[in-house]
């Protein structure tokens, strides 16, 4: 099993929160197809079904629910840490 990339996890998180690929795509400024494809690839990489696809949106499977909880927290930690960086820590050091 490959470790999922951060973009795939962000797409999964958005889809899990919205239970809708279109709304997740709008949030991420991507196409619905890109989000759906990345989620399918994530499911294949994990060997797990994370969503039930319904005519009007999505529903998380039990596995999807249990996977989403720590992913949501991890992404929040990453976003918080990044937000706390001061602009000077992001600039290049000139010698």
CA distance 77 to 83: 10
Q: Where are the domains of the chain?
A: 6-84
Do residues 10 and 1 lie in contact, with contact meaning Cβ atoms separated by under 8 Å?
A: no
Average pLDDT of the chain is 92
Tell me: the pLDDT tens digits for 65-88?
Answer: 999 999 999 999 999 999 888 766
Q: Rounded CA gap, 28 and 64, in Å?
A: 20
Q: What is the pTM of this model?
A: 0.86
CATH number for the domain whose boundaries are 6-84: 1.10.10.10
């Amino acid at each position: 099993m490959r470790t999922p990339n951060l973009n795939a996890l962000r797409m999964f998180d958005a889809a899990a929160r919205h239970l809708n690929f279109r709304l997740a795509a709008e949030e991420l400024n991507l196409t619905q197809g890109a989000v759906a494809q990345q989620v399918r690839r994530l499911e294949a990489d994990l060997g797990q079904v994370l969503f039930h696809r319904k005519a009007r949106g999505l529903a998380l499977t039990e596995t999807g629910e249990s996977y989403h909880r720590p992913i949501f927290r991890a992404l929040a930690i990453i976003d918080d840490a990044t937000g706390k960086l001061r602009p000077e820590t992001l600039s290049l050091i000139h010698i």
